[in-house]
Chain A
Amino acid sequence: MTRLLRAEALRLAITRAYWLLAIGATVLIAGGIAATSAATSFTPDPSPARSVLAMAGLAQTVALIAGVLSVTSEFRHKTITSAVLITPRRTPLLAAKLIALAAAGLVFGLATTAIATATALPLLAARHIPAGLTGSGAAAIIAGGGVATALSAAIGIGAGAVIRNQVSAIVAVLALLYVGEPLLGFIPHVGTAVQQYGIGGLAAATTHTTGFPDTANLLGQPVAALVLAGYGIVALIAGAALLGRRDITT
């Protein structure tokens, strides 16, 4: 397993797509939060900081895509063949990807959310807008950002192993996140459940931000993190089962 982890860490480090995603997301998050904190009027908002920091949720979307990429790029570029030849037992292969990407996601999530918080709070303070966020509240947002991002990467790996085709997998997760869940969220009765148990709502709750729309009903932070982890486990088990069963013909 140590070998596989070393290989996956190396693969992460030398693949430009991950760096472009990480740098791009960090710039967008910092820029978006700076602009919003500096310019938006927050009346009436019990916690302007939590509303603003919901934008840092882009880190989870990026981690989800990175997770999908880590599996689907092996199929797209046919490197899955040599990977499985070296490691005929396919579940450890997936587990190594999970550990490497979840660890990277944790660091990335902590870093982006910390940068976001450090950007938002001084700008709000400069405008004499009460942030509505205690010190422990800020810590919960940053820790939640790390956890939610790591779990998103795990869900992405599972989804990638199930769907395999890179474009289909990315379109599927983005469509679910940005079209499916928001639209379902508008349906009376069902909507509340989607806001609570959809991936978007769970990620927002796990990061202790307000989510989108900011009137969304969210679960508590620990419960949301557990449900999100449950989704990750289900996706990974399904992915591992299918990866083990399917023929590798390309």
Chain B
Amino acid sequence: MRATTSTEDGGPTACHAPATPRRPPAIAGPAIQVAGLHKKFGRATAVQDVSFCVYYGRVTGFLGPNGAGKTTTLRMMLGLIRADAGTAAIAGRPYSRLPSPARTVGALLDAAAHPGHTGRDHLRVLAAAAGLPGHRADELLLRVGLAHAARQRAGHYSLGMRQRLGLAAALLGDPDILILDEPGNGLDPQGIRWLRDLLRALAAQGRAVLVSSHMLAEAAQTVDDIVMISRGRTVAQAPLGDLLAARPGATLEDIYLELTGTPEGAPS
């Protein structure tokens, strides 16, 4: 039995170590363990049963259609949205009980900055709040390729530059776990390649990377594991290789459409 879990057969807590970790995990056990998350906004159910695991040393792609509940799930995992039921353990405990969250988890959700602040000042404020030295801001600007724009106001940044700034913010505390919501948005082809190399490098260092995406072709080149959700439920969790091997000839896109529904307006 390979490391395949789904809500149907495994139950929410059945997280197995991946069969072929590229590097030994930094800490024993999964980096992230999500079990049975539920959330309603008013009468609308956003997430009704999402369970999955994310492992150290691997890039996990978090896939699903618009409105499937990806962002709500990520925000529940990070304590921004209160779950109606279910749990999310990050490095073994709820996010809000991590002793130093910024050094444990780096998250990119909004790529947001005060438009009047320079990229450098934005990172300096976050570094100060996290108890990190101010020079981390300059190091990270260099790392994400924004050193030339460090003293420009974030309001003048392109979407791609804001994504890079958001990645810099996520990496400030040198965390072992990264949670990135659509980090490829607004990046040009050079940026996409750069992002892929960055995520691969982070995983190769033994870090856990969870990345939500719509770009299936890009995901197929980047990720080790797949978590797929649809209409608020986990519909697949498996290593990408296993998913592809189980359906000879099918692409990730074929599998995605099969599991999450055909495109609207498509001939049936």
Cβ of A15 within 8 Å of any chain B Cβ, yes or no, is: yes
* Bound Cα distance from A14 to B118, whole angstroms: 9
Chain A neighbourhood of B117, CB < 8 A:
14-15
B75 pairs with A248, CB closer than 8 A = yes
A contacts with B: majority SS: helix
B121-162 interface bits toward A, Cβ cutoff 8 Å, 1 = contact, 0 = none: 100111011110000000000000000000000000000000
Minimum CB–CB distance from A189 to chain B (whole Å) comes to 43
Nearest residue, chain A, Cβ from B124: A10
Cβ of A40 within 8 Å of any chain B Cβ, yes or no, is: no
B95-137 interface bits toward A, Cβ cutoff 8 Å, 1 = contact, 0 = none: 1101001100101011011111110010011101111000000
A7 pairs with B128, CB closer than 8 A = yes
A17 pairs with B110, CB closer than 8 A = no
A82 pairs with B126, CB closer than 8 A = yes
A65-83 interface bits toward B, Cβ cutoff 8 Å, 1 = contact, 0 = none: 0000000010001110111
Minimum CB–CB distance from A36 to chain B (whole Å) comes to 34
Chain B neighbourhood of A14, CB < 8 A:
117-118, 121, 125
Cβ of B169 within 8 Å of any chain A Cβ, yes or no, is: yes
Minimum CB–CB distance from A139 to chain B (whole Å) comes to 36
User: On chain A, which size bracket covers the interface?
Assistant: 20 to 34
Cβ of A122 within 8 Å of any chain B Cβ, yes or no, is: no
Minimum CB–CB distance from A246 to chain B (whole Å) comes to 9
Beyond the given A77-B114, A249-B80, could you list 12 further A-B residue pairs with CB under 8 A, ordered by the A residue number?
A: A3-B129, A6-B128, A11-B125, A15-B116, A15-B117, A17-B116, A77-B112, A82-B110, A85-B78, A86-B102, A247-B82, A249-B81
Q: Which residues of B contact A (CB under 8 A)?
A: 72, 75, 78-82, 95-96, 98, 101-102, 105, 107, 109-110, 112-118, 121, 124-126, 128-131, 169
Q: Which residues of A contact B (CB under 8 A)?
A: 3-4, 6-7, 10-11, 14-17, 73, 77-79, 81-89, 245, 247-250
